[in-house]
């Protein structure tokens, strides 16, 4: 089975709908031009806006297959920079959130995940972290690919419940 962006996004939308979480999907094909004072011509798009409660969330979804060991929680530097810029542009009522969605062959055994969802006999589970927290402790994963990640202990310290309790 091919795992592309639309595969994970389709399952994520099914999850959001099953929980009756209000959201708007973002069309990534439309690149956004920044206001001149932000210093770049284009800004990487995010995936969703989740609404509700006292805070709204700008979400960048990261689909992963759960392997052995700690769940992978990496992103690109452009992901982090873009999410922080979006958070600034949207203003104080919004928080930029990286949501890591993991496909699992069976139900996860421990409390490492917040939300779980079964879709076509596969388990999907979620972990989330605010982009500002991620940036504060990120380390280079690959200079060549411009990727960064968090140590498992840092991720656990900064982990944000998902779905956010204010929207559930």
Averaged confidence pLDDT in the chain? 84
For 146, phi and psi rounded to 5 degrees? Answer: 60, 40
Beta bridge partners of 33: 42
Q: What is this structure's pTM?
A: 0.87
Task: Tell me whether residue 55 is in a domain.
Answer: yes
CATH assignment at residue 18: 3.40.1350.10
In a domain, 11, yes or no: yes
Residue 59, domain member (yes or no)? yes
Is residue 166 domain-resident?
Answer: no
The model's pLDDT over 32-42, given as tens digits with 9 standing for 90+, comes to 555 555 555 56
Q: Is 35 left (phi over 0), alpha (psi -120 to 50) or beta?
A: beta
Percent of the chain with pLDDT over 70: 82
Structural domain span for residue 101: 5-160
168 in a structural domain: no
The reply to whether 128 falls in a domain is: yes
What pLDDT does 51 receive? Answer: 92
Q: Does residue 41 sit within a domain? A: yes
Q: How far apart are CA 150 and CA 43, in angstroms?
A: 23
Does residue 165 form part of some domain?
Answer: no
Find, among 118, 120, 124, the residue nearest to 101 by Cα: 124
- Number of domains the chain contains: 1
Where are the alpha helices (H) located in the chain, listed in sequence order? 5-18, 77-90, 131-137, 152-158
**Out of 12-21, 90-99, 106-115, 125-134, least confident range:** 106-115
């Amino acid at each position: 089975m091919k795992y592309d962006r639309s595969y994970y996004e389709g399952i994520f939308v099914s999850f959001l709908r099953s929980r009756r979480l209000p959201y708007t999907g973002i069309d990534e094909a439309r690149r956004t031009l920044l206001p001149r004072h932000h210093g770049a011509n284009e800004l990487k798009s995010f995936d969703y806006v989740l609404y509700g409660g006292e805070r709204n969330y700008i979400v960048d979804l990261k689909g992963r297959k759960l392997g052995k060991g700690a769940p992978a929680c990496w992103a690109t530097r452009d992901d982090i920079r873009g999410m922080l810029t979006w958070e600034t542009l949207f203003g104080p009522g919004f928080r930029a959130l990286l949501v890591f969605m993991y496909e699992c062959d069976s139900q996860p055994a421990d409390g490492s995940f917040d939300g779980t969802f079964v879709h076509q006999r596969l388990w999907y589970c979620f972990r989330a972290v605010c982009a500002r927290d991620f940036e504060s402790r990120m380390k280079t994963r690959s200079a060549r690919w411009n990727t960064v990640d968090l140590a498992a202990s840092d991720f656990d310290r900064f982990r944000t419940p998902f779905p956010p309790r204010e929207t559930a």
